[in-house]
Amino acid sequence: MGNNALVSQVLETSASRAPDMTHALCSLGGGDMGAGIVTLWNAGQRNGMIKGASITTLIFSLGISVGVVLLHRHHENRLDKVERKTADACLEFATSVYEQRYKKCTGSQVTEEYATSVAEENSNI
Q: Which residues contact 118 (CB under 8 A, 6 or more apart)?
A: 96, 99, 100
Whole-angstrom Cα distance, residue 9 to residue 26?
Answer: 11
Q: Is the pLDDT of residue 108 over 60?
A: no
What confidence category does residue 99 fall into, taking pLDDT thresholds of 50, 70 and 90? confident
What confidence category does residue 119 fall into, taking pLDDT thresholds of 50, 70 and 90? low
Average pLDDT over residues 113-120: 58
Q: Is the pLDDT of residue 54 over 60?
A: yes
69 versus 18: which is more confidently predicted? 69
Q: Mean pLDDT of all residues in the chain? A: 77
pTM: 0.41
Q: Is the pLDDT of residue 19 over 60?
A: yes
Question: Which pLDDT does position 118 carry in this prediction?
Answer: 56
Instruction: Look at residues 100, 122, 125, 120 and name the one whose alpha carbon lies nearest to residue 110.
Output: 100
Question: Which pLDDT does position 115 carry in this prediction?
Answer: 56
The answer to whether 7 and 43 have CB atoms below 8 angstroms apart is yes
Question: Which pLDDT does position 42 carry in this prediction?
Answer: 81
Question: Which pLDDT does position 105 carry in this prediction?
Answer: 67
Residue 66 identity: V
Q: Is the pLDDT of residue 69 over 80?
A: yes
- DSSP 3-state of 110: coil
